[in-house]
Every structure is written in structure tokens, then in C-alpha cells.
Amino acid sequence: MNNYTSLVTAIIQDAMTGAPPKKEVVLILGDTPQYLVDHANFPELPIVITGSVIEKACFDHGMPTSLLKRLPSILDNPKGLFKSASVHAAGSAVVLTIEIHQSSPIIIPIHPNKQMGRGKFYNVVASVYAKEGPNPADKWSREGLLLWQPNS
């Protein structure tokens, strides 16, 4: 088990047992995937997720621990990349994954170039959740938000 998966396990186990939360822990997923650099103008920085986002994804959004442990490889194999429609997330992108949870596609919003800690900058996973409703790829494409799809 690598450091990332061990930390995911520890964060979720601690939350379940009532241990002090590890919300501010920064977990490095690896280098930012090239498609985010090439198609969303993300800087070539490490991509990270915080303990609080892991907890929220697991306990509020129902994402299985096994899926959260696979985030680095999930991000490496997206179904599509879209501009964020949120006015609060300028420059952010949303990765539409090939993963499904309870018949809904899983999406991963990511913020570029965020400072965390003492002067370090990262591309930051903001959330991981199942997008309910009709296929978001069709709607987002019609709205002109599509940035890139593999093999397109």
C-alpha cells in the first residue's frame, strides 16, 4: 500500500472512530495529468486533495473508500474535461470520470494554482461526487463547456 492509500484509510478510520480529524492533511495524488495542462491551462504542479475533501466525499457524498484510494488512476483516465460553470471557480475544471456510483457519473472539480500552507502551490481536488440527473456531458457540451475528450 502506498502513502496516499494509507492516508486515505487513516483519515476514514479516524473519522469513523471519533479520533481528531485530519482535515488539513494534504495528500499528494501525483503530477497534474497532462490533459489538464494542455486543455485547461493548469500549471505543472502536484495535484492534491485534503483530508476534509476525503471525509466529505466518503461520508457526505457516499463515495466508497476503494474509489477514493484509486483517485490518482481515475484522474489519469477521464471520460471528459469541462470548464467549471461556477462563477466562484474561475479557471477551474471538472473531470468527468468513467466511474459510476449508483447509476450516476462521478465528477471531480479541480482548482488550479492554489496556495496551501507556507507558500506551496498545488492544483487542488475540490470535491468528488456522483452527478445525479441526466448525462452531464451532453448538457455541458451544449453549454460550450467541453474542453477535451480522449480520442477526440
What confidence tens digit (pLDDT) does each residue in 125-146 have? 999 999 998 889 999 999 999 9
- Per-residue pLDDT at 95: 98
Cα 87-89-93 angle, rounded to 5 deg: 115
Mean pLDDT of the chain: 93
- Per-residue pLDDT at 1: 54
Q: Can you point out the beta strands (E) in 59-134?
A: 78-83, 93-101, 104-116, 120-125, 129-130
Amino acid identity, position 142: R
CA distance 20 to 33: 32
67: CB partners within 8 A, 6+ apart? 74, 99, 101, 106, 128
Cell output for 67: 474509489
Q: Which residue has the higher pLDDT, 20 or 83?
A: 83
Q: What is the pLDDT of residues 90-128, one digit of tens each?
A: 799 999 999 999 999 999 999 999 998 788 999 999 999
Classify strands 146-148 and 46-50 as parallel, antiparallel or unpaired: unpaired
